[in-house]
Chains A and B, each alone.
Chain A
Amino acid sequence: MSRTERPKTKLVPVPATNIIPERDVSLPPILEARHLGIDFGGLSAVSDFNFAIGRTEIAGLIGPNGAGKTTVFNLLTKVYQPTRGTILLDGMDTAGKTTIQVNQMGIARTFQNIRLFRDLSVLDNVLVGLHNETKYTLGTAMFRLPQYWRKERIAKERALELLSIFDMQDMADHKAGSLPYGAQRRLEIVRALATNPCLLLLDEPAAGMNPSETSELMDNIVRIRDMFGIAILLIEHDMNLVMGICEGICVLNFGKIIAKGTPEDIQANPAVIEAYLGKKKEGQ
């Protein structure tokens, strides 16, 4: 299914009686990675990565430092072209696609080290996210034809609406670079959402946040999933967050999946405990 056929996610105020969309098992997963792998020279950074995410699932990707989590994100978004394996987005093969095309197909992401357009205003950051949704030609813009005003007004309204998810509409005129750290992370999520994705990749969304900010973020991630009906894959080191909201978890170590399952399964998995804490010595 191409992007145009996908129903547009309409942002509407969340009703008080909001129901979490049920997971539709009859539909194929939104993202499926089969035997995904990449080598950097002789080093196999990720190998035999098999993973699937349901349509409205919140999934977590965890693992010790250097396990290859961000590399997986870079493979999914085609920052790196995989050496082996297939990535299916909504049943479509993304082989040979560029980062831009993959984004247009419906994958949006945030970055571990925040990558905002620091010198642009908060509103403009979101408007750049709406770039492909705002359709008018260069000539229309240069001669300020009526279509320009109409499309710009719609884009601006939509941007403010998206900012209102995080109560950031009052900051619209601030420079993105001048925002406090937490707000910058939130703005990155809003910008990613502006591209109308069906899968959102969050790379350490809670990094550098205090516990109260983190719990607010958890609520917001769940809320975003419910409002937009999208799948979310997140990398996170904060286990409270991962165990609290993820429905499926995948543990990566040295580029290989060592465990997959529900939070309960993962917490009880000896391989995971070993990866994080090390092996018990003999006789102890």
Chain B
Amino acid sequence: MKTRSKIRIPMPARYVINLALVVGFYFLLTGLISSGIITNYWTGILITVGINIILAVSLNIATGYLGQLPLGHAGFMAVGAYAGGIFMKATPAAALLKEGNTAALIPYILAAIVISAVVAGIFGVIIGIPALRLRGDYLAIITLGFGEIIRVVLTNIDSVLGFDFTYGAAGLKRIPKFASVTLVFICVVLACFFIHTMMKSKHGRAILSIRDNEIASESVGVNTTYYKTMAFVFSAMLAGIAGCLYAGYLGSLYPSTFKFMKSIEILVIVVLGGMGSMLGSIVSATVLTVLPELLRSVADYRMVAYSLALVVMMIFRPKGLFGSYDFSMSRVLEKALNFVFRPELRKGKEEADNEQN
């Protein structure tokens, strides 16, 4: 019998398929919103979901891929939020937004995102270089401390500077609300794309090798300090972008939002989804944002259910919902195609399985 080789989807086609899916999903989403099936209330929740996804996938770089446990993610988010918020307040973006002149708004939005990413990245370098000398619990404590420092500085810096900068505990208000579903959607897609492309390269492999065995990766010449800092800074930058979107969505910022519990919330999302799985982070960010909204009617028991879910999770699936499994549309398609068009390979697979057993 002539054996045909397995069907493989060529590389460019994979990207086309994924792009088509993303675009399709976008139009589905905007269609549902404009037709009114997704109400205004739920549109707001969708934006929060998007922001949480960015936060989760960015923290996942540091926890899942690099294998460290930083607890100061809310700090980077705060830095990005305030950087973006203060910048947008200084620009004529508010007036443009009122006019509905979106085209003129785009450069300001781009600039705000870049600024928040850069500022959060700088803080990432400042915190990462000393913090990454430590590991495990010590790294957790030092990043927790840094996160709190950022919050306290944001609260009190005005009295030091002598003029209004962050408006302290009263909050930074009247930030132009520039975060639309489209903007957040694009940011989520780009964040996921760039994380994916980084992780599937020599740089990503270096980061994963540090997680698995730092001594061994040094022994093969991987500059571990460099890659640890790089992953940490990249994670901080994305958190900064999420913060910027958060500022643009809510329109007002309070330092108390970025308490230690916010960092824990993000960590819970990552742990629940499965450390090292981007799909896990995305699904779990969605579920953990939407679920509390659905459970609003039983708000009193919400936290009980939440904690219970975590406990059950840790007992039955300690590696998270998805472990380190990552989803690939092309792989699923390939399997389906092979299943339909190459039935002879199915049998071969069974035999191979039996041999292994």
Contacts and interface: CB of A to CB of B under 8 A. Distances in A.
Interface of A: 77, 79, 98-100, 103-104, 108-109, 111, 115-120, 124, 127-132, 134, 136, 138, 141-144, 148-149, 152, 155, 191-192, 194-195
A237 to B, nearest CB: 22
A131 B206 CA distance: 7
Given A100-B222, A119-B324, A131-B206, 6 more contacts: A119-B212, A127-B205, A128-B222, A131-B222, A132-B221, A141-B204
A142 B194 contact: yes
Contact of A195 (B205, B213, B221): B221
Given A99-B219, A142-B197, A127 B212 contact: no
Contact of A128 (B200, B205, B223, B230): B205
Nearest to A155: B202
B213 A116 contact: yes
B61 to A, nearest CB: 13
Given A115-B215, A117-B208, A131-B206, A142 B220 contact: no
Nearest to A109: B219
A77 B215 CA distance: 11
Contacts of A138: 198, 201, 203, 230
Nearest to B227: A131
Contacts of A79: 215
B221 A104 contact: yes
B213 A141 contact: no
A31 to B, nearest CB: 16
B209 interface: yes
Interface of B: 11, 194, 197-198, 200-206, 208-209, 211-213, 215-224, 230, 324
A228 to B, nearest CB: 16
Given A138-B203, A191-B220, A195-B220, A128 B197 contact: no
A148 B203 CA distance: 12
30 contacts: A108-B219, A109-B219, A111-B215, A115-B215, A117-B208, A117-B209, A117-B212, A119-B211, A119-B212, A119-B324, A120-B209, A120-B212, A128-B205, A128-B206, A128-B217, A131-B205, A131-B220, A131-B221, A131-B222, A136-B201, A136-B202, A138-B198, A138-B201, A141-B198, A141-B201, A141-B202, A142-B197, A142-B198, A142-B201, A195-B221
Give the most central of A109, A144, A191, A192: most B CB within 10 Å: A144
A145 to B, nearest CB: 10
Contacts of B11: 149
Contacts of B223: 100
Contacts of A119: 208, 211-212, 324
Contacts of B212: 116-120
